[in-house]
Amino acid sequence: MTIPTLLQGQVSVGDGLPELAYPVTATTIVLGALAARDWRPMHHDKDFAVNRNGTRDIFINTPNLASWFERYITDWTGPFGRLQRVTFRMLGSIFPGDTMVFRGTVTDTGVDETGCGWVALAIAVSVDDDPKTTCTARVALPLDADDNPWARSGDRWTP
């Protein structure tokens, strides 16, 4: 198969990532919580979520949201993209019936002291244009067709 490869030099500050919209159901939330081995009841028990957490329904758990952000980023980079770091800020919850929309932009690019190319991203997942979680990420990308960030380790990988 042909492996899609986004090179670091093809990316500029201000570039936008393709938007991803996804309709959230109770299944989305329960499947994600169980995939993340998060058994806490606010992610599968509506009575608990409403009466103990004071939320209007069950909501997506943070570890699964991290998986959504990773998917969003690597949909754009292809498999050669290697996450270096991510920071999430939770602003609100995502419930069944919401359509969550991921949008992202490139905020910086560079090459570190080991010769590893990277890009920095600012991403948000929103519902009705209200940001629910923001994510800043730094992702290593190949500098050319012979480069592979995954081949780096030890002193050559400084995330």
Partner 1 sequence: MSAIGIDDIEGAIGVALYEEVGEFPVEQGYVWTTCSSVENGNPLFWDPEVAEEITGGPIAPPTMVSVWFRPHHWAPDRSTPGLPLQIHFDLKEGLGLPEAVMSDNTIVFHEPVRPGDLLRTRQVLKSVSDEKTTKLGTGRFWVIDVEYRNQRDDLVAVESYTGFGYRRAGEKVGA
Summarize as ranges the residues that interact with partner 1 (CB under 8 A): 1, 3, 22, 28, 31-32, 34-39, 52-54, 62-64, 66-71, 74-75, 79-80, 82-90, 148, 150, 153, 157, 159
CB nearer to partner 1: give 14 or 39: 39
What does DSSP assign to residue 90?
A: E
Nearest-approach distance from CB 35 to partner 1, in angstroms:
4
Nearest-approach distance from CB 112 to partner 1, in angstroms:
14
Nearest-approach distance from CB 26 to partner 1, in angstroms:
13
- β-bridge mates for residue 2, sequence order: none
CB nearer to partner 1: give 31 or 111: 31
CB nearer to partner 1: give 14 or 54: 54
Whole-angstrom distance, CA of residue 51 vs CA of residue 123:
32
Could you tell me if 5 and 80 are in contact, meaning their C-beta atoms sit under 8 angstroms apart?
Answer: yes
- Amino acid at residue number 152: R
Q: Which two structure tokens, joined as six digits, stand for 90?
A: 């939770």
Nearest-approach distance from CB 48 to partner 1, in angstroms:
12
Q: Which residues contact 19 (CB under 8 A, 6 or more apart)?
A: 101, 102, 103
CB nearer to partner 1: give 10 or 67: 67
Helix (H) or strand (E) holding 86: strand 82-90
